[in-house]
Structures are given as structure tokens and as C-alpha cells.
Amino acid sequence: MIAASEVLFEWNKLDEKSAIAKVLPCCGSSRWAYELARARPISNGTELLERSDSIWQSLSLEDWDEAFRSHPKIGERKAVAATTQQSLEWSRGEQHGVDASSAELRVALEAANRLYEQIFGRIFIVCATGKSAEKILSELERRLKHDPETELLEAVEQQRQITRLRLRRWIDL
């Protein structure tokens, strides 16, 4: 196993394009990946997560939407926008609880996903790691009651959590 500091040490030495490619699976916003690569050198996992959060919060709606589109819908395998193979593999693992659910529950999730998209104009983003399909459906139904601004802030926070988990996975924290 390679230590986080070794992963970051090697990443810090990469050219900008390669550094961006390494972190893009963690968050599908090209602006986020670019800004994080520009923030190098980063010496440890704590600094990486702090810089990531700061960059994420400073992005525009278009940047956030780009990241959201890089995810497959809950219960699906492909993302709306082009994404990396690593990102798709991580999404499959994060949505493991949905794969194990009943056909009836998957149909309910699909219907709730469609309704969410009709209301908010984007896919439902949730940090699904460790959550059952029932829990995800419950959260989706709760969030359908949000006003658009509240829901956007919730989606932004969920993406931040996903990004943090993926960064940790990437550097093996």
C-alpha cells in the first residue's frame, strides 16, 4: 500500500494536464479539477480535503451542474455526461445498496428520479455510500419538498461529501 503522502508527492510532480486527469474521477467538474491541480503542491490529506472544499464552494452553478452530470442516476450505470471509468466504478460501489434492492423498490426510485428531474432540472445527487435503497428513496422523497434554492444547496453539499470520500479513496486514507 502506498502512503497518502507518496500519492500526493507523485501527483505534485505531474504536469497540469496529468494532475487534472488524476483528480477528475473524484469530482466531475473540470473547473474544480483545474483549480485543485493549480493549488499544488499539497502536502497531506487534510490540506487536500480543505483545498477541495474551498474550491468546490467557490464554483459557479455551471461548474456544479457539470459535476452532477458526471454521475449516473441512482440505480443506473451510465452518466448523463462523459465521465471517467474510475468515476463510474466508484459510483457502482457507492450505489451498492440499490443493486441489492427489490424490483419494486428500483421502480419507485426510477419514478422518484424522474419527478426530481422534472422539478429541479438535474439528476438527484446523494452521497449513497453505505445507504440502503430504502434510505435513498426516503431521502429523495424528503428532498422533493425543497424549494429550488434549498435543494441546490443540498445537492452541492452531497457532491462535496462524495468528492471527499473519493479523494480519500484516491490517496488511500
In angstroms, rounded to a whole number, what is the distance separating the alpha carbons of residues 109 and 106? 5
The enclosing H or E element of 20 equals: helix 16-23
Mean pLDDT of 94-100: 58
**Given pLDDT bands bounded at 50, 70 and 90, which one contains residue 97?**
low
pLDDT in tens, 22-44: 999 999 999 999 999 999 999 99
Q: Are 95 and 59 in contact (CB under 8 A)?
A: no
* pLDDT value for 93: 59
- Alpha-carbon gap, residue 104 to 76, rounded angstroms: 15
Which residue matches cell numbers 473519493? 166
Residue 104: Cβ within 10 Å count: 8
Contact (CB, 8 A) for 171 and 3: no
Query: Residue 133 CA to chain centroid, in angstroms?
Result: 18
pTM greater than 0.75 (yes/no): yes
Alpha helices in 24-132 (DSSP H): 30-38, 45-58, 61-69, 85-94, 96-99, 103-120
Confirm if 116 and 140 have CB atoms less than 8 A apart: yes
Q: Please provide the size of the chain in residues.
A: 173
Domains and CATH numbers, the chain: 4-171 (1.10.3330.10)
- CB 25, CB 90: distance < 8 Å: yes
CA separation for the pair 140, 66 (Å, rounded): 20
- Is the peptide bond between 41 and the residue preceding it cis, with omega within 30 degrees of 0? yes
Kindly report, residue by residue over 116-169, the tens digit of the pLDDT. 999 999 999 999 988 888 999 999 999 999 999 999 999 999 999 999 999 999
